Amino acid sequence: RADWVLLPEEKADIDSMCKHLKRVYERKKIATVVVSEGIEVPGEKISKEKLDQFGHMLLKERGMGEGIARVIRDRLGVDTRVSVIGHMQRGGAPTLFDRMLGVRAGVKAVELIKEGKFGQMVSLRGTEMMGVSLEEAVGKLKTVSPEWIDFAHTLFK
């Protein structure tokens, strides 16, 4: 269970986080903070900024988890550890549904190629596999909705 979550959709309030974590440490002697690599921390130089060949920030290279751990350690005087989770921790072992979905996506991709429909990716909408233009798939930044953020606040803070 996370004790604090830092998402790019919200301004990171490091002072409030540290106050909260201090109370958590006093009570439980341990705290967990979930850090999105995409966060910005006003007034703090925490991350390393590296860009790809297109000028986009490489989020996996930012080191925000390590930077936030350093801030917590410096401000609270507690030992910190960072775990960068991978695909298995995020999603777990594939289920039968996951495997079948992969096969269905592959079949649909081949159909799109045979039909000459390039510049598309395969998407599952409801129960149907369909081609979606790359512009529709990645042309707009997708963010965590305010409803999910409010939900997280009730659970994590």
| 114 in a structural domain | yes
Q: Are 117 and 78 within one domain? A: no
| 148 in a structural domain | no
| 108 in a structural domain | yes
**145 falls in which pLDDT band (50, 70, 90)?**
very high
pTM over 0.85: no
| 153 in a structural domain | no
Element (H, E) at 155: helix 146-156
| 156 in a structural domain | no
Q: Are 64 and 111 within one domain? A: no
Question: Would you state the pLDDT for residue 42?
Answer: 76
- Please tell me the total count of domains within the chain: 2
Residue 30 has pLDDT above 70, yes or no: yes
Q: Measuring CA to CA, how many Å separate 45 from each of 6, 34, 70?
A: 16, 19, 11
Task: Report the distance separating Cα 77 and Cα 51, nearest Å.
Answer: 33
Residue 80 has pLDDT above 90, yes or no: yes
Q: Are 99 and 131 within one domain? A: yes
Residue 70 has pLDDT above 70, yes or no: yes
Report percent pLDDT > 70 for the chain. 97
Strands 33-35, 128-133: pairing is unpaired
Q: Are 117 and 79 within one domain? A: no
Give me the residues paired with residue 120 across strands.
Answer: 133
* pLDDT per position as a tens digit, 112-121: 999 999 999 9
Give me the residues paired with residue 34 across strands.
Answer: 5
Q: Are 9 and 74 within one domain? A: yes
Task: Report the distance separating Cα 4 and Cα 73, nearest Å.
Answer: 15
Q: Are 16 and 75 within one domain? A: yes
Question: Would you state the pLDDT for residue 59?
Answer: 81
Q: Are 80 and 97 within one domain? A: no
Mean pLDDT of the chain: 89
| 145 in a structural domain | no
Task: Report the distance separating Cα 22 and Cα 30, nearest Å.
Answer: 10
* pLDDT per position as a tens digit, 126-138: 999 999 999 998 8
Q: In which domain, by residue range, is 106 found?
A: 93-137
| 152 in a structural domain | no
Residue 82 has pLDDT above 60, yes or no: yes
Q: Are 80 and 19 within one domain? A: yes
Residue 157 has pLDDT above 70, yes or no: no
Q: Are 78 and 16 within one domain? A: yes
In the numeric block, which tokens belong to residue 75? 């401000």
